[in-house]
């Protein structure tokens, strides 16, 4: 376990080298607060609630879901694996004393921790200076369950991208699979459109998909709209 923690720490430190990537993460964190305010201000004009959520509740959901969606740095795994398998450099992971799958999960974890800290403090500052009232659950157990769901969701996405990368052993080009995954997950996780706005029959069907529990459910738990 210790060696995987070292891998995660190493990749967390490398994020400090690429300062422009960090700057872009900060800008995106600020932009999503501004975008959410403008978008939902227009949609809520003359309305008290939409899909059972008030204005500030909807903004809080949108910002949390966008934050969680932005946290996922595991998409690099599949792209990195396909490049190495095609170039013949993947064999180096077969000789080092680590499990290949665990190595890539640890790599994603290190990047996620760094990005999570930067974006979290930036988002908090945006809320503070903009005066937006943040809506959150007050039940500690529900917040704890939400945190667990976030961790499991990020782990699922890392595993999914790892197995998509392995498809390179069967297919010369997996960009189509990655494009389908990116567009499908963006919609089904509720990061683009809150799933609460969809018809009940469609929402019930999405509960059978793992993507439902990656972003949408944790976001609803954290704003106190899910038991």
Number of domains the chain contains: 1
What's the distance, CA 137 to chain centroid? 20
In this predicted structure, what is the pLDDT of residue 152? 92
Specify if 227 maps to a domain: no
Specify if 135 maps to a domain: yes
Range of the domain at 11: 2-222
Q: How far apart are CA 54 and CA 197, in angstroms?
A: 13
* CB-neighbour burial class of residue 65 (10 A; exposed 0-12, middle 13-18, buried 19+): buried
pLDDT digits (tens, 9 = 90+) for 112-144: 888 788 777 777 777 777 677 777 777 888 888
For residue 106, give both structure tokens.
């640890």
Buried b (16+ CB within 10 A) or exposed e, 93-108: eeeeeeeeeebbbbbb
> Model pTM?
0.81
Specify if 76 maps to a domain: yes
Phi-psi map region of 216: left, alpha, beta (phi>0 left; psi -120 to 50 alpha):
alpha
Specify if 71 maps to a domain: yes
Q: Pick from 17-21, 84-88, 181-185 the range whose average pLDDT is largest.
A: 181-185
In this predicted structure, what is the pLDDT of residue 156? 92
């Amino acid at each position: 376990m210790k060696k995987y923690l070292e891998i995660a720490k190493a990749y967390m430190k490398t994020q400090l080298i690429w300062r422009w990537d960090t700057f872009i993460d900060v800008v995106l964190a600020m932009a999503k607060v501004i975008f959410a305010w403008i978008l939902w201000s227009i949609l809520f004009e003359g309305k008290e609630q939409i899909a059972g959520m008030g204005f500030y509740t909807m903004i809080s959901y949108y910002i949390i879901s966008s934050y969680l969606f932005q946290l996922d740095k595991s998409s690099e795994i599949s792209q990195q694996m396909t490049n190495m398998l095609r170039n013949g450099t993947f064999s180096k992971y077969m000789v080092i004393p680590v499990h290949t799958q665990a190595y890539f999960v640890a790599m994603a974890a290190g990047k996620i921790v760094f990005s999570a800290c930067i974006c979290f403090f930036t988002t908090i500052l945006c809320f503070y200076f903009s005066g937006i009232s943040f809506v959150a659950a007050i039940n500690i157990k529900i917040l704890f369950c939400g945190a667990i769901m976030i961790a499991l969701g990020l782990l699922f996405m890392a595993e999914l991208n790892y197995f998509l990368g392995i498809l390179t052993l069967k297919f010369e080009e997996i960009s189509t699979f990655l494009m389908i995954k990116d567009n499908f997950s963006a919609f089904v996780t509720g990061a683009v459109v809150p799933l609460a706005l969809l018809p009940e029959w469609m929402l019930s069907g999405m509960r059978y998909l793992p993507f439902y529990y990656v972003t949408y459910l944790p976001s609803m738990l954290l704003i106190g709209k899910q038991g």
